[in-house]
Amino acid sequence: MKQILVTGGTGYIGSHTAVELQNAGFEVIIVDNLSNSSLEVLDGIEKISGIRPAFEQFDLVEADKVDAFFAKYPNIEAIIHFAASKAVGESVEKPLLYYRNNLVSLINLLECQLKYGVSNIVFSSSCTVYGQPDELPVTENTPRKDAESPYGNTKKVNEDILKDTIAANPAIKGIALRYFNPVGAHPSALIGELPLGVPANLVPFITQTAAGLRGELKVFGNDYDTIDGSAVRDYINVVDLAKAHVIAVERLIYNKNENGYEIFNLGTGQGVSVLEMVHAFQMATAVKLNYKIVDRRAGDIEKIWADTTLANEELGWKAETGLEETLLSAWNWEKRVRGME
């Protein structure tokens, strides 16, 4: 069985990807320092897939620990690197924490790839690298803009670190996946997104409001140049997203990639407004959502959605799950976490 290192594998996207990798016959080894996730996630992965992945708890910033890991596991065929700090607002307050965690982790992994002969890496990038694009939808060739936060900048710089390292070392191949807005949970409701504290992201805020943990959803802005004045994003189902990682890993392992370094947008190709999200949630769940329109949130862009042609044609991957089904999965997960079932 081919071994895949999944860093950040007890996190939101990593846990769903661990399930899909195991379903596809890969052996998963998770590394996570549990800074933003918990060990119980392994139970969820095991219940869904029937397999408990190997787990090593350490901080990828510590170079000696990363080295010792690769010495212990000499047969790893590919790395999927999810581990990172991801709170945009916190990154503005604590830029050094973000630069150290997100940049040093990747550098440590790449150095070990060279030392231990691990050829393949898939990196979690983000549509944040596009900022507010001049033209929509965005293709992979749409120019990147200056990042609006230290977090966003770590994605941009990490893409460059990966590209430059691969250019200098053809033994390494890599794929950067630029996620749009990942949402939803596994249909089993056994794993999902579990933000600490008050959620900054829209869907966890919606489900927590519906569950009664928050009084009302604040819709940030209704004066954007969009269908109904609220901001527009491309919300991608997390299981669909996870499946793209299995395809990316197979592409690298079986040498189907054309270039040493490749980039793919992962989204649905559809822009959806915040108010459309609210209505879709109400339709999907029959739960009425208390919401109020307030001022725009600082740092938000107006609208973005993906051109997914490259991922559709080159990877043979397409977002499949409908928005209401996705929002229902998020609600079922919230209800399970809150003991409402």
Does 182 bind ligand NAD (CB under 6 A)? Our answer is yes
Q: Is 121 helix (H, G, I), strand (E, B) or coil?
A: strand
* Count of other CB atoms within 10 angstroms of residue 107: 16
Instruction: Please choose which of ligand NAD, ligand WQD, none residue 83 contacts, taking the beta carbon within 5 to 8 angstroms, the exact cut-off set by kind.
Output: ligand NAD
- Binding residues for ligand WQD restricted to 143-162, rule: CB under 6 A: 152
Residue 91 carries which side chain, given as an amino acid letter? S
Contact positions with ligand WQD (CB under 6 A) in 232-271: 233
> Which residue is it, tokens 């009084």?
215
Q: Are the beta carbons of 294 and 219 closer than 8 angstroms? A: yes
List 12, 98, 130, 151, catalytic entry:
151
Q: Does 300 bind ligand WQD (CB under 6 A)?
A: yes
Residue 82 binds to ligand NAD (criterion: CB under 6 A): yes
Examine residue 214 and tell whether it contacts ligand WQD (CB under 6 A). no
The answer to whether 44 and 289 have CB atoms below 8 angstroms apart is no
Show the CA angle centred on residue 20, arms to residues 183 and 273, nearest 5°. Answer: 15
Among residues 76, 83, 194, 202, which is the contact residue for ligand WQD, using CB under 6 A? 202
Q: Is 151 known to be catalytic? A: yes
Which residue in this structure is represented by tokens 């600082």?
Answer: 298
Could you say whether residue 274 binds ligand WQD (CB under 6 A)?
Answer: yes
Judged by CB under 6 A, the stretch of 6-14, 163-171, 195-203, 323-331 that binds ligand WQD is 195-203
Partner touching 105 among ligand NAD, ligand WQD, none, CB below 5 to 8 Å by kind:
ligand NAD
Residues 6+ apart with CB under 8 A from 110: 121, 161, 162, 165, 172
**Measured distance CA(197)–CA(199) in Å, rounded:** 6
Q: Which of 282, 292, 157, 284 is nearest to 219 (CA)?
A: 292
Summarize as ranges the residues that interact with ligand NAD (CB under 6 A). Answer: 8, 10-14, 31-37, 59-61, 82-86, 101, 105, 124, 126, 179, 181-182
Summarize as ranges the residues that interact with ligand WQD (CB under 6 A). Answer: 86, 88, 126, 128, 152, 181, 200-202, 205, 217-220, 231, 233, 274, 297, 300
